[in-house]
Amino acid sequence: MQVTVIGAGYVGLVAAVCLARSGHTVTCVDIDPEKVAALNVGASPIYEPGIEELLTEGLASGRLRFTTPESGWESLIAEITIVAVGTPMAGSGSADLSQVRDVVDALSDAATGPFTLVMKSTVAVGTGAALIERFLARSGLTIRYVSNPEFLREGRAIEDWYATDRIVLGSADPDHLAPLRALYADIEAPVLETDIASAETIKYASNAFLSTKISFINEIANLCDAVGANIDDVARGIGMDVRISPHFLHAGIGYGGSCFPKDTRALEFIASINGYQFSLLKAVIDVNNRQRLLPVIHLARALPDMDRRTVAVLGLAFKPGTDDVREAPAFDIIPLLLEAGASVTAYDPIAREVPLTGVKRAATVWKALAGASAAIVTTEWPELCALDWTRVRAEMADPAIVYDGRNCLDRTAVEAAGLTYMGVGRPGAHRQR
């Protein structure tokens, strides 16, 4: 099939390379000319395991190309045109739909006949219905609109594309879905066909539920700290119940990234403007905001002379396997440490091109740790979870505190090396609040 994917970000690029691999002819459009130029020579602007191989394969096959809209939208509209531009958080907490509107307006001005417009961007409930009206008003054309929310996880995006738990397709008319069924014919996943508003809600509700699980286990971890229970065992015990499942029961300093924080806020906003107070979701967001402050609170107590100390922040990406730093906890933690007077060193194995002021960026974890009195593990990169703790102790100053913000370290090994261990819901020396 002829496919156009608009937006070459984490979602659009993955969609483009995977669809090309499936045999479709794909044009991927992005307004960023540097990104387009890099992609056309096989260089991915994002870190995502396996993406460069598929990019190279797609370009070599002649089924994949990248372009800017400069060539004119008229020639870019395909029988299936997928929108995967950003919908970042607006000041109100709502999803900023300006990128989506810009694209749909450009398409409506250029369209000369009907085509299938597939919305992969996460958009507020009701957006699909509004865009159909807007398209009709501008072009006089009734569009075949399909809401097809994306559920891939950064760091495992390609794997998730082919092994997704489900494909959700929302439309005003089931006949509009025929091209999508063909597009995804090689993906063995259950397909849920529904109306547009329900498909839009499924995306937000999924992310809200996963965020709720994270905030819930973090609350239990905080309780474990207070009562002397161990969150690792508690989470394991809870997760053995098949109704609960062990997934998303890993306590730590909370969720980040480009989706959970913005999508929970957007759903709360959608609820409010529709006259509903989503109390549970408000609490989920509050817990998450508080959770990421825990390392600063505990270290401020342990190091009253913080203004004479160096703190190493290990991990800038919001999770391992990606270079995405959007809404990563490190970016809330670092300014607070700086405000408390600490010198801060920061290290991430992948997310290197990150604007950070007042912080010394270290090229290696050892340089970040040199002379530090505390190290906060903010991202559970495998290399950070398995450090040589004896060497860590030798690099650090006195006292040498390791704050395990992701509960990913072997506490016994850390303590055996003479370091002070602090975790989340793993009570120990820092239990007294």
Ligand X SMILES: NC(=O)c1ccc[n+]([C@@H]2O[C@H](COP(=O)([O-])OP(=O)(O)OC[C@H]3O[C@@H](n4cnc5c(N)ncnc54)[C@H](O)[C@@H]3O)[C@@H](O)[C@H]2O)c1
> Is 89 or 422 the residue whose CB approaches ligand X more closely?
89
Distances (CA, A) of 65 to 20, 69, 383: 9, 13, 35
Residue of 117, 127, 105, 137 lying closest to 77 (CA atoms): 117
Q: Which of 18, 28, 224, 259 is catalytic?
A: 259
In the complex, minimum distance from the CB of residue 428 to ligand X, in angstroms, rounded to a whole number: 35
Instruction: Tell me if 325 contacts ligand X by CB under 6 A.
Output: no
259 is catalytic: yes
Choose, by CB under 6 A, the member of 22, 81, 94, 121 that binds ligand X.
Answer: 121
Strand order in the sheet with 310-314: 359-361, 343-347, 310-314, 374-377, 401-404, 420-422
**Residue 358: burial class (beta carbons within 10 Å; 0-12, 13-18, 19+):** exposed
Q: Cα–Cα distance between 174 and 192 in angstroms, integer?
A: 11
Give how far the C-alpha of residue 38 lies from the chain's centroid of Cα atoms, to the nearest Å.
23
Q: Cα–Cα distance between 112 and 132 in angstroms, integer?
A: 16
Choose, by CB under 6 A, the member of 3, 11, 169, 337 that binds ligand X.
Answer: 11
Taking CB under 6 A as the binding criterion, the range among 19-27, 74-82, 98-106, 231-239 that sits at the site for ligand X is: 98-106
Q: Cα–Cα distance between 31 and 68 in angstroms, integer?
A: 5
> Is 8 or 51 the residue whose CB approaches ligand X more closely?
8
Tell me if 222 sits within 8 A of 297, measured CB to CB. Answer: no
Q: Cα–Cα distance between 176 and 10 in angstroms, integer?
A: 26
Instruction: Tell me if 318 contacts ligand X by CB under 6 A.
Output: no
Coil vs helix vs strand at 361: strand
Instruction: Tell me if 258 contacts ligand X by CB under 6 A.
Output: yes
The residues that bridge with 147 in the sheet, in sequence order, are 119, 170
> Is 29 or 330 the residue whose CB approaches ligand X more closely?
29
Instruction: Tell me if 32 contacts ligand X by CB under 6 A.
Output: yes
Choose, by CB under 6 A, the member of 150, 225, 348, 380 that binds ligand X.
Answer: 150
Choose, by CB under 6 A, the member of 77, 103, 177, 299 that binds ligand X.
Answer: 103
Instruction: Tell me if 208 contacts ligand X by CB under 6 A.
Output: no
Q: Cα–Cα distance between 132 and 108 in angstroms, integer?
A: 10
Give the number of residues in contact with ligand X, rule: CB under 6 A.
28
Choose, by CB under 6 A, the member of 57, 79, 96, 102 that binds ligand X.
Answer: 102
Instruction: Tell me if 8 contacts ligand X by CB under 6 A.
Output: yes
Tell me if 89 sits within 8 A of 60, measured CB to CB. Answer: no
Instruction: Tell me if 261 contacts ligand X by CB under 6 A.
Output: no
Taking CB under 6 A as the binding criterion, the range among 111-119, 146-154, 398-406, 409-417 that sits at the site for ligand X is: 146-154
Instruction: Tell me if 9 contacts ligand X by CB under 6 A.
Output: yes
Taking CB under 6 A as the binding criterion, the range among 5-13, 47-55, 336-344, 352-360 that sits at the site for ligand X is: 5-13
Instruction: Tell me if 323 contacts ligand X by CB under 6 A.
Output: no
What is the residue-wise DSSP string for 238-252?
HHTSTTT-STT---S
Instruction: Tell me if 110 contacts ligand X by CB under 6 A.
Output: no
Catalytic residues: 259
Question: By the criterion CB under 6 A, which residues form the site for ligand X?
Answer: 6-12, 29-32, 35, 69, 84-87, 99, 102-103, 120-122, 150, 152, 154, 258-259
